[in-house]
């Protein structure tokens, strides 16, 4: 039976009198990719921030089983220091990042390994974020998170700012990292199209609560809420791009 690396029980997050997250519960198993999907304002990104300690939890319990967890943010370009090259960004984390494991490899060797994980060449190392595409910046952000050797990766809308074809590449990258590194991934997205071919299980969120949940196949074939049915209308575009991408690889 798959061990749970993350267990969230009755989580509540409030902003004053407004309750953004209303007692949600979910799990993330070892080597599993779980999606939380909902439109803007549904509370899904608030969950991600609460898990990372960026928002105060009003009530409920978060059990991370004492494993490391890192986050990949939606705005990949904005999350990188515009005055630092990619080499400097990764070197800073590896040299000074709290919680980054120390290894016998040199910094250059570790940087090369991180770039290999995300499919980037050494040609990007002396570039600045403004000189790179959104997809490349997101890959750098993922590489930076991997420097901490996390067991859990929280990806908050990692492809929403990218065009459909680039979305497919980044989603395939996340799935490949799960397979290669054994990562557990919590994927936050605003439409079901993004998670259809990537997630093992899906939670659909509306107004701070889950209105659908279960294995991806079940949620897509037998949605229990009208809200989920509306989200499903966006599925074909990304689905087509993912299949086209696989034929080109």
**pLDDT (tens digit, 0 to 9) for every residue of the chain, 249 residues total?**
578 999 999 999 999 999 999 999 999 999 999 999 998 999 999 999 999 999 999 999 999 878 899 999 888 888 899 999 999 999 999 998 887 887 788 999 999 999 999 999 999 999 999 999 989 999 999 999 999 999 999 999 988 878 877 888 889 999 999 999 999 999 999 878 788 889 999 999 999 999 999 999 999 889 989 999 888 876 655 455 555 544 444
Read off the pTM. 0.90
Burial call 232-247: b when 16+ CB within 10 Å, e when fewer: beebeebeebbeebee
Token reading at 88:
């400097």
User: Under DSSP, is residue 165 helix (H, G, I), strand (E, B) or coil?
Assistant: helix
Alpha carbon distance 174, 72 (integer Å): 11
- In CATH terms, the fold of domain 20-67+153-249 is Rossmann fold (3.40.50)
Rounded to the nearest 10 degrees, what angle do helices 164-181 and 235-248 cross at?
70
29: Cβ–Cβ under 8 A, 6 or more apart, which residues?
A: 2, 3, 4, 5, 184
Of the candidates 145, 129, 133, 144, which has an alpha carbon nearest to the alpha carbon of residue 83?
A: 129
């Amino acid at each position: 039976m798959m061990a749970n690396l993350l267990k969230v029980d009755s989580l509540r997050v409030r902003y004053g009198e407004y309750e953004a997250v209303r007692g949600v519960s979910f799990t993330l198993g070892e080597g599993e990719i779980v999606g939380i999907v909902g439109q803007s304002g549904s509370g899904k990104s608030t969950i991600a921030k609460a898990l990372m300690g960026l928002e105060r939890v009003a009530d409920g319990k978060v059990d991370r089983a004492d494993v490391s967890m890192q986050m990949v943010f939606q705005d990949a370009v904005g999350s990188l220091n515009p005055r630092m090259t990619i080499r400097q960004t990764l070197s800073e984390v590896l040299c000074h990042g709290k919680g980054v494991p120390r290894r016998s490899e040199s910094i250059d060797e570790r940087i090369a390994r991180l770039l290999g994980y995300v499919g980037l060449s050494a040609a990007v190392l002396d570039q600045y974020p403004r000189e790179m595409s959104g997809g490349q910046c997101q890959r750098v952000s993922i590489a930076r998170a991997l420097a901490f050797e996390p067991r859990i990766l929280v990806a908050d809308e990692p492809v929403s700012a990218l065009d459909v074809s680039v979305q497919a590449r980044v989603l395939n990258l996340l799935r490949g990292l799960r397979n290669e590194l054994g990562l557990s991934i919590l994927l936050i997205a605003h439409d079901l199209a993004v998670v259809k071919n990537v997630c093992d299980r899906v939670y659909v969120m509306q107004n701070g609560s889950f209105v659908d949940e279960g294995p991806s196949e079940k949620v897509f074939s037998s949605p229990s809420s009208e809200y989920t049915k509306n989200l499903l209308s966006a599925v074909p575009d990304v689905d087509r791009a993912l299949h086209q991408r696989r034929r080109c690889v």
